[in-house]
Amino acid sequence: MPACEYVTLRGGFVVPADTLRRVWALEERGVIFRLDGDGVVVGPSRLLDESDTAFLREHKATLITILAGETHA
């Protein structure tokens, strides 16, 4: 198994590169992410399949880090 690659975002946030690539792929399909309090709103749901939903649940903390970094740019 290859070593995990990481990306340092503005503000010094470090996230796994594969997670960031998956978020970008979802955005390319038209999925929108935004922070809402301590959570993340993702939609529209019709663009997400079961694999996407499982990924989003598993990586919620990283998604919050990515979105928080974008809002503090």
**Considering the domain boundaries, does residue 57 fall inside one?**
yes
- pLDDT value of position 12: 86
- pLDDT value of position 2: 57
**Considering the domain boundaries, does residue 16 fall inside one?**
yes
Question: What total of structural domains would you count in the chain?
Answer: 1
Residue 24: strand, helix, or coil: helix
- pLDDT value of position 65: 87
* Domain carrying residue 28: 6-71
Report how far residue 70's alpha carbon sits from residue 55's, in angstroms, rounded to the nearest whole number: 20
**Considering the domain boundaries, does residue 1 fall inside one?**
no
Residue 28: strand, helix, or coil: helix
pLDDT along the chain (73 residues), means of 10: 78 89 96 93 97 96 86 53
Full-model pTM: 0.83
